[in-house]
A and B are shown apart, each in its own frame.
Chain A
């Protein structure tokens, strides 16, 4: 389903990924772990063709992503759902509208929207929140909306970049159950996380990245000490968030 073949991605001074080869099969549930700055988000962005690889080949659903023309990128993304740590809901739209938005902008017929949006909300257990606005919801509920939006177009692949990073352990665990459920319906899931207890409890395939290289690929354990886990250490969560915000700002500034 997703295949990296000797993929290298460099930034100006840093290395994002260094000669990575990996295969993720259809229906897999994969955790992507590793210290901060290891290259996990780079990995995710390469799958989405948000970034271009410098070397190597990436294949998603049999399509060569690295050779894809800019016009084909939207088609690729319609097959991939994505969830972020910070939810990224539109504050001026209701829950229903936020989810429907994902269908509207790829020209799905109204009938289909009316059917699938409530389905997705029900599956995420937030059908009763359809008319609420994001700021009226708890963090866990907001993330459920984001997941509903990510799966409403029934993508074959769901990518989650630290989806539980902003949630307390109980809520995080609820979200994990939902993701597991989605996986069991046949969706391939790649989840980036720092949450040791979740990874340990789920007993799924774990790919560990350090300094842009894959250092471990096995079933089961998180494999790092507690200090890395952001759901159990408040200071770490804050630090990660702060740094991400800083980086986002830096990137935006740098692009101008």
Chain B
């Protein structure tokens, strides 16, 4: 316990003596974390959008010519229900389609009232349980008589998934890069304190202090830098993301018909990620800065 307080006290003293360098590295690491959080936010939102879109569009829509009768459509529905990978199929009239469309437009739905004729076609909607079968089912649907077009949204979903993947991979690469840079920044800051205290450290070594005891204050100093940066970055993210959701949240909802990830949820998750990052960046940085010193 006494050792712990000694370590903590030394860490704060060091932090104070090395104030300007400490502040500079806090600034640098905060910036790194902010860039990271930008990527996380993008990633999380695109991911959420992709998930919900995937759910919406697990379907093939067979648009019918106006002269195709509901009886003909029923034949298609029954045939589709027999196919592998189909969970459900039903007939959707043009009026039903219009109603859905209006609902999606929400408050702006009244704009559609101005249309004289309903331009939407009748359709048969096929719900797919197995996305792998989507291509085959679409090809099968193309062979029906009396259809105008077959639309299925696998390509849209694929594109979204690809985008998510891309963002995911770039986020990981960027993250690794930024973490390495942060560790270097911290280790250089700590190196300065180590250098200032080299005399003391060499005496400690001669008297038989253990390496972990010598490392302790520097470790805490590094972690302190990391944690302070994490808290600042978190606060800024909270503020900015809150603003962003306020300003463009509604538009995003209308465009993608999925809400943005709420601030509270996001910050709660970020808190853990940032703190973990801060602590690991800080401790890695200080251990690296001391490695040569202690082994010599």
User: Are chains A and B native binding partners rather than an unrelated pairing?
Assistant: yes
Chain B residue at minimal CB-CB distance from A256: B292
A107 vs B216: C-alpha distance in the bound complex, in angstroms?
14
B55 at the interface (CB under 8 A from A): no
Q: A9 to chain B: closest CB distance in Å?
A: 15
A164 at the interface (CB under 8 A from B): no
B155 at the interface (CB under 8 A from A): no
Chain A residue at minimal CB-CB distance from B295: A70
Q: B215 to chain A: closest CB distance in Å?
A: 12
Whether A78 contacts B207 by the Cβ 8 Å rule is: yes
Assuming the contacts A90-B203, A101-B203, A105-B213, asked whether A74 and B208 have C-beta atoms less than 8 A apart, the reply is yes
A1 at the interface (CB under 8 A from B): no
Interface centre among B6, B210, B292 (most CB of A within 10 A): B210
Q: Which residues of B contact A78 (CB under 8 A)?
A: 207-208
From 247 to 296 in chain B, residues with beta carbon under 8 angstroms from any chain A beta carbon are: 292, 295-296
Whether B206 contacts A105 by the Cβ 8 Å rule is: no
Whether A88 contacts B207 by the Cβ 8 Å rule is: no
The majority secondary structure among interface residues of chain A is helix
Whether A74 contacts B203 by the Cβ 8 Å rule is: no
B180 at the interface (CB under 8 A from A): no
Q: Which residues of B contact A77 (CB under 8 A)?
A: 205-208
A75 at the interface (CB under 8 A from B): yes
A76 vs B176: C-alpha distance in the bound complex, in angstroms?
41
B200 at the interface (CB under 8 A from A): yes
Q: B85 to chain A: closest CB distance in Å?
A: 62
A142 at the interface (CB under 8 A from B): no
Whether B206 contacts A74 by the Cβ 8 Å rule is: no
Interface centre among B200, B202, B295 (most CB of A within 10 A): B200
Whether A75 contacts B203 by the Cβ 8 Å rule is: no
Q: Which residues of B contact A101 (CB under 8 A)?
A: 203, 207
The majority secondary structure among interface residues of chain B is helix
**Count of chain B residues with a beta carbon within 8 Å of a chain A beta carbon:** 19
- Chain A interface residue number, banded: 20 to 34
B107 at the interface (CB under 8 A from A): no
Interface centre among B209, B213, B295, B296 (most CB of A within 10 A): B209
Whether A88 contacts B211 by the Cβ 8 Å rule is: no
Q: Which residues of A contact B6 (CB under 8 A)?
A: 104
Q: Which residues of B contact A71 (CB under 8 A)?
A: 210
A82 vs B204: C-alpha distance in the bound complex, in angstroms?
12
A102 at the interface (CB under 8 A from B): yes
Chain B residue at minimal CB-CB distance from A76: B208
Q: Which residues of B contact A74 (CB under 8 A)?
A: 208-211
Q: Which residues of A contact B207 (CB under 8 A)?
A: 77-78, 101-102, 105-106, 149, 153
A111 at the interface (CB under 8 A from B): no
Whether B203 contacts A88 by the Cβ 8 Å rule is: yes
Q: Which residues of A contact B200 (CB under 8 A)?
A: 90
Whether A82 contacts B206 by the Cβ 8 Å rule is: yes
A111 vs B249: C-alpha distance in the bound complex, in angstroms?
65
Q: A35 to chain B: closest CB distance in Å?
A: 26
Q: A101 to chain B: closest CB distance in Å?
A: 7
A12 at the interface (CB under 8 A from B): no
A115 at the interface (CB under 8 A from B): no
* Additional 14 contacts, C-beta under 8 A, given A78-B208, A88-B203: A48-B206, A70-B295, A74-B208, A77-B205, A77-B207, A77-B208, A101-B203, A101-B207, A102-B203, A106-B207, A107-B2, A107-B3, A153-B208, A256-B292
Q: Give 30 A-B contacts (CB < 8 Å), ordered by A residue.
A: A48-B206, A70-B295, A74-B210, A74-B211, A75-B208, A76-B208, A77-B206, A77-B207, A78-B207, A79-B208, A88-B199, A88-B202, A90-B199, A101-B203, A101-B207, A102-B203, A102-B207, A104-B6, A105-B204, A105-B207, A105-B209, A105-B213, A106-B207, A106-B208, A106-B209, A107-B3, A110-B2, A153-B207, A255-B292, A255-B296
